[in-house]
């Protein structure tokens, strides 16, 4: 049996700016740093054998206090990087809507069909999430590990963990910043014990932009 704690990075400067952050290497905001500290405290009472992280700064700086609490070094995993938004990436929302008028409506209303110019498609990300989960649970069989990653990849991971096809990805939640999802893996089967837990952050909870999802 393996246990996975899947953590979304804390609020980043890109989250505050709006638009699609993707692989732009934004730092955590001041609130994001506080969220990361609270999540590290929340996870301080669980056993961890490893902390794996996306190489982007906002994920690394969320993972550091978790690893420090457990006396562990970070393990960098490129497959945990955020969705590649290609030409949509890093643009302020007004400029994004002007240059790519179909981008936000497609993202909000037809997520399985998203295919970013010079970036990933949602089908690519879903497949990457599925490969990452399979590879990591095989490599860390019988271990308890924390994965620190990003909103779009977590949504794809939750879709896989629930057994939903990509066409039903809207059934999976958008995880809040620094939220925690606990998954038990036994014999290749996944059981979600809780998902997107963020109550430990009190009034510091922040989520995915409603301007991009239409949801809180």
CB 7 within 8 A of CB 197: no
Can you give 45-106 as a three-state secondary structure string? HCCCCEEEECCCHHHHHHHHHHHHHCCCCEEECHHHCCCCCHHHECCCHHHHHHHCCCHHHH
Q: Is 9 a catalytic residue?
A: yes
Beta strands in the chain (DSSP E): 2-8, 50-53, 74-76, 144-149, 180-186, 189-197
CB 104 within 8 A of CB 212: yes
Annotated catalytic residue, options 30, 41, 70, 82: 82
SS3 content of the chain, % helix, strand, coil (to 5): 50, 20, 35
Calculate ∠ Cα 80-155-84, nearest 5°.
Answer: 50
CB 163 within 8 A of CB 192: no
Burial 60-91 (b: 16+ CB within 10 A, else e): bbbbbbbbebbebebbebeebbbbbbbebbbb
Q: Catalytic residue positions?
A: 9, 82
């Amino acid at each position: 049996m393996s246990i996975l704690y899947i953590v979304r990075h804390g609020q980043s400067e890109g989250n505050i700016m709006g638009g699609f952050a993707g692989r732009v290497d934004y730092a955590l905001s001041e609130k994001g740093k506080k969220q990361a500290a609270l999540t590290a405290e929340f996870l301080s009472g669980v056993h961890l054998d490893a902390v794996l992280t996306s190489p982007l700064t906002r994920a690394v700086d969320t993972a550091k206090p978790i690893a420090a609490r457990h006396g562990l070094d970070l393990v960098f995993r490129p497959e945990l990087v955020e969705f590649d938004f290609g030409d949509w990436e890093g643009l302020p929302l007004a400029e994004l809507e002007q240059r790519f008028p179909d981008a936000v409506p497609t993202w909000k209303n037809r997520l399985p069909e998203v295919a970013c110019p010079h970036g990933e498609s949602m089908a690519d990300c879903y497949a990457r999430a599925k490969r990452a989960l399979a590879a990591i649970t095989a490599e860390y069989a019988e271990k308890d590990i924390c994965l620190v990653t990003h909103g779009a990849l977590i949504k794809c991971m939750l879709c896989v963990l629930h057994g939903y096809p990509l066409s039903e990805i809207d059934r999976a939640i958008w995880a809040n910043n620094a939220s925690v999802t606990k998954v038990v893996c036994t014999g290749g089967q996944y059981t979600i014990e809780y998902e997107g837990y963020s109550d430990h952050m009190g009034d510091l909870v922040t989520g995915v932009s409603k301007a991009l999802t239409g949801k809180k």
